Amino acid sequence: MPGVYISYPFCAQKCTYCNFASGVLPAELEGRYLDALEQEIARHPWRWTPESVYLGGGTPSRLPPADLERILAGVPGKPWTEATIEAAPGGITAELAAGWRRAGITRVSLGVQSFVEEELRLTGRKHTAEIVEREIAILRGVGIEDINIDLIAGLAAQSLDSWFASIDWIERLQPPHVSVYMLEVDEDSRLGLEILREGPRYGAARVPDEEQVAEFYEAAVRELAGLGLARYEISNFAKPGHESRHNLKYWRLEPYAGFGVDAHSFDGGIRWQNTDEVREYVSGRGVVVERQRARESERFWVGLRLTEGVRARPADLARHAEAIERLKQNRLLEQEGDLLRLTPRGVLLSNEVFQEFL
Amino acid sequence: MDPTFIRNFSIIAHIDHGKSTLADRLLEVTGALSQREMMEQVLDSMDLERERGITIKAHAVRLNYKGDDGQDYQLNLIDTPGHVDFTYEVSRSLQACEGALLVVDASQGVEAQTLANTYLALGHNLEIIPVINKIDLPSAEPDRIREQIEHVIGLDAGGAILASAKQGTGIHEILEAVVHMVPPPTGDPEAPLRALVFDSWFDPYRGVITLLRIVDGRIRVGQEVRLWSNGKVYEVEGLGYQSPKPVPCEELSAGEAGFMMANIKTVSDAQIGDTVTDDKHPAAEPLPGFQEIKPMVFAGLYPVESHEHGRLREALEKLRLNDSAFNFEPENSVALGFGFRCGFLGLLHLEIVQERLEREFEIDLITTAPGVRYRVTTRGGDVIEVDNPTRFPNPADIEQIEEPIIDATVITREEYLGEILKLLEEKRGTQKKFEYIGTGRVLLTYELPLNEIVLDFYDRLKSASRGYASLDYHLAGHRDSPMVKLDVLVAGDPVDALSMIVHREFAYDRGKALIERLRKLIPRQMFEVALQAAIGSKIIARENIPAIRKNVIAKCYGGDITRKRKLLEKQKEGKRRMKRVGRVEIPQEAFLAVLKVGEES
């Protein structure tokens, strides 16, 4: 069953680590954006009924519930099996949460990133651990139990001790789902750029090194498993039955339709993506900027991200025989019959593995 | 034409002193080119020449000039390259002339290269006409420069022409001076043919084209001519001159310069310096030829993609057709596979060949560190010449090593003297002369090992003097030196392409610096990689590159699979461009790291 992704790129501030097409945009654009989004959804020829919806961004939790309802009204299939909204801690009230429930939201993904004050300060985020604790209670109060917490390994000022402090908060808050991302250092984020230029801003000089980040990640895998949160994808951990149905579609190459700026779609054969310019998007002309047939090889390098691995066809095994053998020798890949899986070592070096299957 | 009305001259100038602009101006004023046809620096025809503002190949351009005396003159401007690497080209061109314009920048003054070329011209008995150029600049000091020309070169500069090629001032005076001061050629048009080949190149459509200066007699289309050196006979199929576009003609006679096409198949058949004579009525004696030019700097050129080896060979062969100064032979490296050991006149020459290969032939190259040719006497008494570190004999078999030594002339402003003297000391130089030339300028003569020049000397000289110091050098012999071979081991395996020959006293520092640099350049691998520098079996420096810990894309933003794929493809492409040595992937820059170690030691 396919899924729907809806992008809402507006934020209260641009986080220092963020390299997405999102951020602080003029308020007047917001109204025009919602209109354009509503129209794009309305134009869609629904040949299937989605079972999952995902509102990402940006900060979709900034949307007034009435607008959220208006947008979701165009998406068939309510009540969806899973409907997630990404939320920034710090503005979640009981009214808002109740509004989400009415709109059909079943799951909230909290962009916590860290529970440590100094780390949060350097990212530009305004919340605290206590605020997160309070807001989780609010969500549970209105019956939203499916909660995800995002953590980032590799933030400025992070140490193994402070990383464990964040993990301790996971234990205390008991979310059924956790995502652990590793900081991406590239020119698209302020922090990434500052690190590349070896500058001092945003704590760039205090970012942990490759060794430490790898250690943080491995510690998280271990500790979260102890809390019953098993790793089911490179960055995703869940209690049994709480895996994100929507995100699994990406890795299992199931179809999804994306709406809004920089949204991506896949119909099972073709991939396309919308413009990442909000102004271009609201103009309504030529929203789709890139369209191409999905490659056969995706099955491997996308699917291998999952802990469950990928079932290879005999022809695949034959074609990639040499690479598979080499990767096995390097202890990056393991094979059980026709099933291929990353080893724990292979997870951290997964790009090295995926390149072999491109 | 009656030789009395012919003038053959060239222009001697330091880079940036305005030679090309002056040449363009002369073409424009004599009507060889209309203003509309003028493109900046017409004579530098290769892209590379125009971009770098240097002249690589010689040219001979005929200008028709009506003098103030009402007489029509044929002026042949024989243009020459201005860089030290191409001194041999200058020397050849000068031999085809009776006079030269010495162009000196009115604010910069005489530079080392100008000095060397002027002496070369005087050695050929050329009449020198000093021209002080760029007098339009506010910083121009013509009086000081005039004094400098007299003092440094010993030339009477009282009549020096003040010019601004940019603004067109002094151009008429220059043309009149060429007519009145440069002697007409002395050859006899009625004597048996003697023509000097002063350049030749291969044209894919017309075969070999030779640039000739007719010394005696005449050459006509249809004539049977003989090349002195190999006795081969050819029928002249076409003659002409550049104006600057090629203009065909039926005959060239004594005193004139022009080009000849005679169905000569390869450039090596029409060697520069050879004499062309008539087959039926040959001259009694050939013209004095040129010294054979020998490469001084050597480096290995390897294709990044090993299957491009054949294409690289073809490209080198094509380049060689037009550039007899460089040579190459097949070489095999354990690390880099099949490639070529190439000899060059100098570093600029190397860079030019390298750029032309990458640009005109689109071949990705790895160039190993440039080195020089050592003369090694073995214990057995054999003397061998070694220009490739991998062929260096076992230390136990070496009786003596001699390295090539140069005489270098550096001209600098006084304020940079401290830095420059330090640099020359560091490069194992021995001072031979220290002389103040005019106010605030110093001329230094040093004996230096050539091997110290090829690493990074020129760049460092420029940065020590903010670009002002100039350098000229020529080979002055060999000297007994305690040189050793420094090897680099990556993950325990010697990487032959990283070996270099260094002075024993520098070996430790260079080895350490090289290893440190390599540690930064070689990306982390799947396993820990040891880097070692060694002399023989003795390890003198060691560093470790820790194993790669993570290479993972964490976030999936709204199912953006395409972005992930592009990132992976970029990584994969980066790896493809590396060279796999044993189990280690080494990026191309690492092979050039050897070049830069001097800066840190």
What phi and psi values does residue B573 have, to the nearest 5 degrees? -65, -40
Q: Which of A187, A243, A253, A351 to mutate to test the interface with B (most CBs of B within 10 A)?
A: A351
- Sort A302 into a burial class: Cβ within 10 Å, 0-12 / 13-18 / 19+: buried
For domain A3-251, give its CATH number from 3.40.50.450, 3.20.20.70, 3.40.50.1820, 4.10.1240.10. 3.20.20.70
Tally Cβ neighbours within 10 Å of residue A44.
15
Which residue's entry shows tokens 């959804």? A41
**By three-state DSSP, how is residue B171 classified?**
helix
Task: Kindly report the backbone phi and psi dihedral angles of residue B574, in degrees, each rounded to the nearest multiple of 5, phi listed first.
Answer: -60, -40
A56/B557 CB distance under 8 A: yes
**B546: confidence class by pLDDT, cuts 50, 70, 90:** very high
Q: What is the mean pLDDT of residues B14-20?
A: 79
| Distance between CA atoms of residues B558 and A56, nearest Å | 7
The reported pLDDT for the residue numbered B42 is: 45
pLDDT reported for residue A59 = 93
* Partners of B203 in the β-ladder: B207
At A259, the amino acid letter reads F
Q: How far is A346 from chain B (nearest CA, A)?
A: 9
Q: Which amino acid is at B77?
A: L
Residue of A nearest to B546 (CA): A211
pLDDT score for B292: 66
**Smallest Cα distance from B567 to chain A, Å:** 9
* Whether residue B570 has pLDDT greater than 60: yes
Q: Which residue of B has its CA nearest to A4?
A: B558
- CATH topology classification for A298-355: Arc Repressor Mutant, subunit A (1.10.10)
- Partners of residue A292 in chain B, C-beta under 8 Å: 562
Rounded CA gap, B174 and B163, in Å? 8
Q: Are A253 and A34 in contact (CB under 8 A)?
A: no
Cβ contacts below 8 Å, chain A against chain B, sum to 97
- Report chain B's C-alpha Rg in angstroms: 27
Contact (Cβ atoms closer than 8 angstroms) between residue B540 and residue B488: no
User: Is B259:B212 a contact under the CB 8 Å cutoff?
Assistant: yes
CA distance A104 to A73: 10
**What chain A residue is nearest to B525 in terms of C-alpha separation?**
A352
* Cβ atoms of B298 and B388 closer than 8 Å: yes
Interface of B with A (CB under 8 A): 524, 526, 546, 548-562, 564-565, 567-569, 571-572, 575
pLDDT value of position B43: 46
More confident: B454 or B283 = B283
For chain A, what are the domain ranges?
3-251, 298-355
Bridging pattern class, strands A333-336 and A339-342: antiparallel
Separation CA B76–CA B7 (nearest Å)? 6
| Length of chain B in terms of residues written | 601
Q: How far is A133 from chain B (nearest CA, A)?
A: 24
Does the pLDDT at position B426 exceed 80? yes
Average pLDDT over chain B, rounded to an integer: 86
Query: B137-177, pLDDT tens digit by residue?
Result: 999 999 999 988 988 888 888 889 999 988 989 999 999 99
d(CA B286, CA B219): 16
Q: Computed from CA positions of residues A55, A58, A59, A62, in that sequence, does the dihedral angle turn out positive or negative?
A: negative
Predicted ipTM of the assembly: 0.91
Of residues A5, A295, A351, nearest to B559 (C-beta): A5
Residue B64 main-chain phi, psi, to 5 deg: -95, 120
**Which residue type does A202 have?**
Y
Residues of A in contact with B568 (CB under 8 A): 301, 351, 354-355, 358
* Residue B54 banded pLDDT, cuts 50, 70, 90: very low
Q: Look up the pTM and report it.
A: 0.68
The pair of structure tokens assigned to A347 is 């997870």
DSSP annotation of A204: G
Give chain A's mean pLDDT.
Answer: 94
- B573 → chain A, closest CA residue: A355
Give pLDDT, residue B50.
Answer: 46
Question: Which pLDDT belongs to residue B136?
Answer: 93
Q: How far apart are CA B453 and CA B330, in angstroms?
A: 25
Helices B87-94 and B112-123, interaxial angle, to 10°?
A: 30
**Interface touch B562/A292, C-beta < 8 Å:** yes
CB atoms A298 and B575 under 8 Å: no
* Among the partner residues A290, A302, A348, nearest to B550 by beta-carbon distance: A348
Least confident of A48-57, A154-163, B114-123, B371-380: B114-123
- B59 pLDDT higher than 80: no
Tokens of B462: 């420029």
CB-CB under 8 Å, A263 with B558: yes
- Percent of chain A scoring above 70 in pLDDT: 99
Chain A residues whose C-beta sits inside 8 Å of any chain B C-beta: 5, 7, 20, 54, 56, 180-182, 184, 210-211, 213-214, 217, 234-235, 247, 249-250, 256, 258, 262-266, 271, 273, 290, 292, 294-295, 298, 301-302, 330, 347-352, 354-355, 358
Of the residues A4, A273, A299, A331, the best mutation for testing chain B's interface (the one with the most B CB atoms within 10 Å of its CB) is: A273
Query: Nearest to residue B410, comparing CAs of B155, B153, B111?
Result: B111
Is residue A114 within 8 A of residue A129, CB to CB? The reply is: no
Nearest to A308 by CA among A336, A331, A341, A332: A341
Q: Dihedral of the CA atoms B87, B89, B91, B96 (nearest 10)?
A: -160
DSSP per-residue string spanning A78-95: SSPSEEEEEE-TT---HH
- CA pair distance B10, B19, nearest whole angstrom: 10
Q: Which residue of B has its CA nearest to A266?
A: B559
pLDDT at B80: 66
Q: How many residues does chain A have?
A: 358
Structure-block tokens of residue A290:
């890139």
Span B172-223, pLDDT tens digits: 999 999 999 999 998 899 999 999 988 888 777 888 889 899 999 999 999 9
pLDDT of res. B82 = 57
Q: Which residues of A touch B571 (CB under 8 A)?
A: 351, 355
Shortest CB distance from A250 goes to which of B552, B556, B572? B556
A87: closest CA of chain B, how far (Å): 15
What is the dihedral sign for C-alpha A344, A347, A349, A355?
positive
Residue-wise pLDDT for A87-139, tens only, equals 999 999 999 999 999 999 999 999 999 999 999 999 988 899 999 999 999 99
pLDDT exceeding 70 applies to what percent of chain B?
91
